[in-house]
Structure 1
Amino acid sequence: MELSLAHPAIKAFMCGSLSGTCSTLLFQPLDLVKTRLQTLQSATQPGSGRVGMMSVLLSVVRTERLLGLWKGVSPSFVRTIPGVGLYFSTYYSLKQHFFEDSSPGAMQAVLLGGGARTVAGVVMLPVTVIKTRFECGRYSYASVSGALRSVCQTEGPAALFSGLMATLLRDVPFSGIYVMFYSQTKTSLPKEIRESPLAPLANFSCGILAGVLASLITQPADVVKTHVQVNPQTRTTEAIRNVYVEHGLRGFFRGAVPRCLRRTMMAAMAWTVYEQMMAHMGLKS
């Protein structure tokens, strides 16, 4: 089937998948550093000082070489390529169904983004669990398929959905907040900019602002999600308590800098590439 004849939702899926591929490859090291920071047993050792983003990054390069920063990129691709495609195709379908002849308001944008992320998050959660385990460095899986098989055999299929609540509490608000800020700031731009060659750069800047705000608001849920997926026998409430007892309130913001950088840049790039490709295909994103 030729791309020009494909259903608009399929075109949105393909545009989203391509944008997700580009952003994942570029920003995977930030995700790995974020996961390592969040899964350290303690923030400090006696006399060692505080462990930060750069010390973790240098440690990975020193012990696992430069390519070690891309550990977990295989499950990231397996998750992101169909996951981002599913997200954008769901978003496009929902928007066309409910707002075909109008633009969604702020609260409607929150519901659109949250609804699309709920679908993609639930479907892709098993791969998200495997990706987190690859990145934390505690598991020695040979491949994504082997990891899925190993978890099912040793822990049961339910382990592949560990952290579901924490994941949804992180991703659904993130997507809703992001889409709201992104759509509202983009709409507030002067018409001359929106219709000029600078439009992609302006959209990317709007995405950066939206990503920073959404990342900071949802950071505590990301920390809890990581702890539950690395230790699937731990319940969400137990993970919250453990993080607070070990590290205090600051523990809920461990890994905030690399996550904020990665999520912000990935989301901004994904939306910019998606919208440019949809416009090229003659579809309204």
Structure 2
Amino acid sequence: MNKRLNYQIKLTVYIMILVSLNYVNTMQQEKANQESHLKTFLKDIVVGSLTGISEVTVNQPLVGIKNALQQSQSIEPKKLYKGYCVNAISMAPITAIQVCANSIFQRILSNGKDLSIKDKILSAFLAGAISSLVSSPSELIMIKQQNYGKNFYQTLKNLLKEKKIRSLTRGIVPTAFRDGGFSTGYLALSQIISKELEKVTDHQNKLLGGVLAGILSAIVTQPFDTIKTQMQAHDQNLTTTLRTYDQEGFKTLFKGLIPRTTRVMMAIPLMSIISNKLSNSNIIKLFEK
């Protein structure tokens, strides 16, 4: 009886030790995974922020031209960089959100497996749609600056005074569809098209893939961008704006298509190249250590 009891006690102790060791090992793995996810998150923020600011610095004049054409205004060179600061500052978190959210959605959709093309597109679109929470209010302020020539503080003060804070959400629905389309081109289509081109030409076509993705994304999302601009510039709701375009004709939804297509056509390969260079740079690799 005593021998049997001693055996049971020893067996119980062994089991407890094994369970404890397994628990410690699991906790260490979870901690390592958390640290890895945190490093990846911080890396995505830095890469996304620098990428977004670089794109706005190059393409801001095209934004001013596009906004003027969509509102049937004359193009004034001195106003082309009006609103640059708010656009550049906002593009940092916008692109960071897109990059980080895309990584998160990809992990969720992959479930440990390889992502399908459909999953990559869905992930990129959702990431872009979420970023509209930042891009929509920042672009509203930029448009008001370009129209009235006031600085950021004066413009924001007037908006909050006259329309209250809810005015900053004007145009967020079409912005979500537009940014979803742009993010799809930037984070998914450019890579997909580049890989398909490699099968035909037997060499890398990242630049051409980005250009083609940019043209496609710009054309598909142009109506959403035009509606967004009209809503924000004239303080209209979605129903009123759609009624206006219904009267004027569908083609008016494509006002400003050329400067915007040029911007997106340049932006997607530019952002893809900058993002790739930054991701492989020695500074960014510090996050991986």
Distance 2:193 2:111 in 1: 21
Distance in 1 (alpha carbons) for counterparts of 2:111 and 2:155: 42
User: Which of the pair has more CA radius of gyration?
Assistant: 2
- Asked if 1:174 is matched to 2:176, the reply is no
**Which residue of structure 2 aligns with residue 253 of structure 1?**
254
The residue matched to 2:123 in structure 1 has which SS? Answer: helix
- TM-score w.r.t. length of structure 1: 0.78
1:222 alignment partner in structure 2:
225
Distance 2:84 2:161 in 1: 24
Alignment partner, residue 149 of structure 2: 140
What amino acid maps onto 1:272 in structure 2?
I
In structure 2, the gaps of 5 or more residues are: 1-35
- The CA distance in 1 between the partners of 2:250 and 2:136, in whole Å, is 27
Question: Which structure features the higher share of helix residues?
Answer: 2
Q: Residue 114 and residue 126 in structure 1: after superposition, are their counterparts in 2 closer, same or farther (change >3 A)? A: same
CA distance in 1 between counterparts of 2:267 and 2:190 reads 14
Q: Distance in 2 between matches of 1:221 and 1:182?
A: 21
Name the amino acid aligned to 1:109.
K
- CA gap of 1:186–1:40, structure 2 versus 1, over 3 A, is same
- Contact 1:9–1:93 under 8 Å retained in 2: no
The alignment of Structure 1 onto Structure 2 pairs a total of residues equal to: 250
| Secondary structure of the corresponding residue to residue 72 of structure 2 | coil
* Cα displacement (A) at 1:163: 0.6
CA contact (8 A) 1:170 1:222 kept: yes
In 1, distance between residues paired with 2:144 and 2:113? Answer: 43
Counterpart of 2:40 in structure 1 is: 8
Matches within 5 A, 1:8-27: 8-27=40-59
| Correspondence for 1:152 | 160
- Structure 1: which 5+ runs fail to align? 42-55
Q: Secondary structure at the match of 1:7?
A: helix
- Normalising by the residue count of structure 2, what TM-score does the alignment of the two structures yield? 0.77
Equivalent residues of 1:107, 1:180 under 8 A apart:
no
Q: What is aligned with 2:275?
A: 274
Paired amino acid for 1:71: K
Give me the identity figure in percent: 22
The alpha carbon displacement at 1:155 in A equals 0.6
- What is the match of residue 36 of structure 1? 68
Deviation at 1:254, TM superposition (A): 0.5
2:264 and 2:113 mapped to 1: Cα distance?
29
Q: CA deviation at 1:222?
A: 0.9
Q: Report the AA paired with residue 131 of structure 2.
A: A
Residue 106 of structure 1 and its aligned partner are, at CA, apart by 2.1
Q: Which residue of 2 aligns with 1:213?
A: 216
Q: Which residue of 1 aligns with 2:20?
A: none
**Could you say which residue in structure 2 is the equivalent of 1:130?**
141
Give the letter aligned to residue 209 of structure 1.
Answer: L
